[in-house]
Amino acid sequence: MTRVLDLLAARTCVSVELWPPRSDTAAARLESTLDRLALLAPDFASITYGAAGSTRDRTHDLVVSLQRDRHTTAMAHLACAAHTRAELEAILARYRDEGIENVLALRGDPPLDATTALEDGELRHASDLVELVRASGPFCVAVAAHPAGHPDAPDLAADRRYLARKLVSADLAITQFFFGVEEYLRLVDDLHALGVDRPVVPGVMPVTSVRTLDRMAALSGVPVPAALARRVDAARDDPDEVYRIGVEVATKLCGELLDAGVPGLHFYTMNQFAATLDICSALGLAKRAAARPAP
């Protein structure tokens, strides 16, 4: 059992985000692809939480099985908008009792059928969830950061102030994906100016298909650089070339981030590990990971 903050203090980490399967068929498919993940030996894996808590049990099961059966430090995503305080306390108690030490605290999306206002005492913001996680056990708590600002924030300065308040109590932040190293460096500089020196782990999502690029822009609101969009569009009839472009661009970004001294690299894999393995191999990280003892 290992706290992610301790891992980041010990070395430059490589980590991945996984999706919990939504069906038994998807679960079987994920189980087979997790063997490829073992080739990378990531320092930790974070497990997403479906909108409105829709993958609650599957998230829990994947978190526990990764840590117990595959000896991978697991970080459980948890969204407060999907649950009452009592439900969140029960989820956290279950994780604590099963030896899970790392939680990514998110606001998340409320259920689509939510028609009433939250009652007094319920959690409205990710910062509220951070405090609840802190009070529920010796968890290492991560929060999300948005280099371009959260889509719901009134402006970038307000978003930075809110992130800084979250990081007063949280241990680290993991960013939404972005495309330029200067976006990450600006975020870290802004936090330093606000008196925050917690580790900020950059998130990277390789473009592996035209569909991935379209989905990235739609889900995150992060603008795709025009030059990248043109390259991908020109190669849209050649999936292998689109994949090659995506790996090339992400490898360059990761190299620049490592040169800047980041605490780690967090890959949004969408449960496909080929691109992450290719990027880490190009950077010499796969070999380093393979030689590292299991936690």
List CB contacts of 295: < 8 A, sequence separation 6 or more: 2, 43, 71, 72, 73
Catalytic residue among 17, 87, 241, 256: 17
Do 271 and 33 contact (CB within 8 A), yes or no?
yes
The answer to whether residue 17 is catalytic is yes
Indicate the SS3 state at residue 197. coil
Residue 127: is it exposed, middle or buried by C-beta count within 10 angstroms (0-12/13-18/19+)?
buried
Do 221 and 151 contact (CB within 8 A), yes or no?
yes
How far is residue 93 from each of residues 88, 103, 135, 172, 201, measured CA to CA in Å?
A: 9, 12, 11, 21, 27
Q: What residues are labeled active site? A: 17
